[in-house]
A and B are shown apart, each in its own frame.
Chain A
């Protein structure tokens, strides 16, 4: 069985602060995909990143960066210089198998509030 843990239920920061959202996953499969999604109050899921289990390179996209460490089964997400518009619930998710277009196991989500 797969499991995703986001230990931080809520995080509150002041604008321009950096913030890291933690994600720890569990799976016995050697081939899997990890995702991060943003869910604003309107409810839709906004795809942020997908990473497969064979690619441990960290990734940076603008103010967003991701740190994937298989040794600790973690896939953490950092927002640099946070902005009010970053306020949302962020979900980490896992799918197993050779294609990532399969069922997702979601973490519990982290509510991020960025205050002006």
Chain B
């Protein structure tokens, strides 16, 4: 299967700071990328969908000004958690799909801890 690399795999930051998470498709062009969030012992919930070159579409209840998504190229999407608070501590995972593909491939995930 195709490879999606997510970085960093874990990060600890202070409350009030911003954190950027990168999601890269290494061997294919990702026209669409998805960002999911998973709180401990819970399921994965879609936060937003981004298409290359256009604004992301956010799910209901997700603050677009807090979770900034940029999908500037066909191989890179970034999620920036702005002014992070302890309640933003979670596991964030991206997936990427190409227009030619019939499957979305997941990155390894990023465990964010806000202290």
A residues contacting B by CB (< 8 A) are 33, 43-45, 47, 50, 91, 95, 99-109
Contacts and interface: CB of A to CB of B under 8 A. Distances in A.
Given A108-B42, A109-B43, 10 more contacts: A44-B106, A47-B106, A101-B32, A101-B97, A101-B101, A102-B32, A102-B97, A103-B46, A104-B104, A106-B43
A57 B104 CA distance: 22
B97 A106 contact: no
14 contacts: A43-B109, A43-B111, A45-B93, A47-B1, A47-B106, A50-B102, A91-B44, A101-B98, A101-B102, A101-B103, A101-B104, A104-B36, A106-B44, A108-B42
Nearest to B32: A101
Contacts of A105: 46
Which secondary structure dominates chain B's binding surface? strand
Contacts of B108: 43-44
B44 to A, nearest CB: 5
A47 B93 CA distance: 14
Contacts of A109: 42-43
A100 B91 contact: no
Contacts of B45: 106
B101 A103 contact: no
Contacts of B105: 47
A95 B102 CA distance: 11
Give the interface centre of B34, B42, B93, B102 by most chain A CB atoms within 10 Å: B102
A113 to B, nearest CB: 14
Interface in B58-102: 91, 93, 95, 97-98, 101-102
B102 A100 contact: yes
B95 to A, nearest CB: 8
Contacts of B95: 104
